[in-house]
Amino acid sequence: MSTRPYVSPSTGTRIRAVLFDVFGTVVDWRTGIIKDVGAFAAAHRLDLNEEQFADDWRGLYQPAMEMVRSGSRPYTPLDVLHRESLERVLKDHNVDPQALTEDDVERLNRAWHRLPAWPDSVSGLTAIRRTYIIGPLSNGNTSLLLNMARYAGLPWDVIIGSDLTRAYKPAPAAYLRTAGILGMAAGEVMLAAAHNTDLDAAKRAGLATAFISRPTEHGPAKTSDLAPTGSWDIIATSIVDLALQLSGQR
Amino acid sequence: MSTRPYVSPSTGTRIRAVLFDVFGTVVDWRTGIIKDVGAFAAAHRLDLNEEQFADDWRGLYQPAMEMVRSGSRPYTPLDVLHRESLERVLKDHNVDPQALTEDDVERLNRAWHRLPAWPDSVSGLTAIRRTYIIGPLSNGNTSLLLNMARYAGLPWDVIIGSDLTRAYKPAPAAYLRTAGILGMAAGEVMLAAAHNTDLDAAKRAGLATAFISRPTEHGPAKTSDLAPTGSWDIIATSIVDLALQLSGQR
């Protein structure tokens, strides 16, 4: 692995930190949620369609954050938004949350803290960490990202959750405040993400960008983000591939 | 190493995170600052007493933070306080900061980002990390603590600097906000520190406590914190010793 820092063609700056979108880019949220919903259903003898439940839960993710981004409600941690969405999805799947214990609902809500890494994530992150500072740049709150890192073995140097920036991507403040906390200029930070809208906002905020292809993020039905749609600095097929490209080996 | 979590006798709670005071407890600030002041003096052909310079610089640490703690000035990151103190110490040692370049002064100021770990720190932290979440609980700002971790190889899970809590120890908010960001009750967090005043404040805030003896922190002249002065949960001679005691092996 080369130790010569990568210089972004778009920002012209040496990269010091590579930060990652997490849900979908580093971890396979859909497989993790389906598994935990299945275990929950079995424990409570419920007949649930785990795939549909997972997709419905995730489907409420952007609308919930949009309430914060638009200013309709103050910053609210993702754990709380997930919990509100969960109670709605339980009802939509004919389960009364009131008939469950607080512990049971909260344990299921914390399925977002126990998501499996994609097969290439840990080795790719470990390689990139030899030369760069690495961390998440996620809408998750710090405790969620910390527990996930312990669960999935993600070797982050630093974890700045949305509770610390008090901003949800793609709001510019989410990227700029994170760089500021790291003591870096925006151009010294690269965002790696599987989602074009995230990269577009990061680029507008002055960050370098890397697209990571995750064609099965939404299962067989995925139709978005199958290919890069912007002029990102790096287009990679995995985090291992990103490590190779950053080091000039591919 | 046992994986049975330690239960604090004082809080009665299972410990989930062990957080560390950093300057003096995890890193040997005095040796690091003396070395960098020596290199600075050599590069600029200055005749400086490096030991005195280091002690004078550190001597302004508590008074500078006290301005923030007392409310006389708003939260100001430690990098900025260190820089203000450095300019004063340079003058006191007959060096005109204006005669130096901004880069030279700032590089010296960042000596606090490049401090060596005590010999037992990395192995002790690595052992504790097998069972507990570990991080600093320091008055340093996040970027300082991050750069120090990269320099000294400190395997933190998470770094919550004083810029994120906006409080300087021993203010209670420094301990309580850190636990809150981690999603933990105060009693689930242990502070390990070489300073009795820090442990006293942590205990009052509801944290578990461990004293780490660092008899040479201030060089041969150290007179404070040579022994524990409170009823801390654990009294350890090093971070390796703390790891053994947490796991019930000593």
Q: What is the pLDDT of residues B135-160, one digit of tens each?
A: 999 999 999 999 999 999 999 999 99
Query: Under an 8 A CB cutoff, do B182 and A157 touch?
Result: no
Q: Which residues of chain B carry a pLDDT beneath 70?
A: 1-3, 222
* Rounded Cα–Cα distance for residues B47 and B93 (Å): 9
Q: Which residues of chain A carry a pLDDT beneath 70?
A: 1-3, 222
Residue type, B143: S
Query: In the structure encoding, which two tokens stand for residue B147, read together?
Result: 């750069």
pTM greater than 0.90 (yes/no): yes
Neighbours of A247 (CB within 10 A): 18
Q: Which residues of A touch B163 (CB under 8 A)?
A: 181
Which CA distances in Å does A220 have to A27, A213, A215? 17, 15, 9
In chain B the domains, ranked by start, together with CATH numbers, are: 17-28+115-246 (3.40.50.1000), 30-113 (1.10.150.240)
* Rounded Cα–Cα distance for residues A43 and A64 (Å): 28
pLDDT confidence of residue B220: 82
Whether ipTM tops 0.90, in short, is yes
Query: In the structure encoding, which two tokens stand for residue A125, read together?
Result: 């992150």
Q: Helix, strand, or coil here: A188?
A: helix
Count of residues in chain A: 250
Residues in Cβ contact with B200 at an 8 Å cutoff, skipping those fewer than 6 apart: B170, B230
pLDDT confidence of residue B250: 78
CA distance A139 to chain B (A): 15
Q: Helix, strand, or coil here: A218?
A: coil
Residue A182 forms contact with B (CB below 8 Å): yes
pLDDT in tens, A194-207: 999 999 999 999 99
CA distance A162 to chain B (A): 11
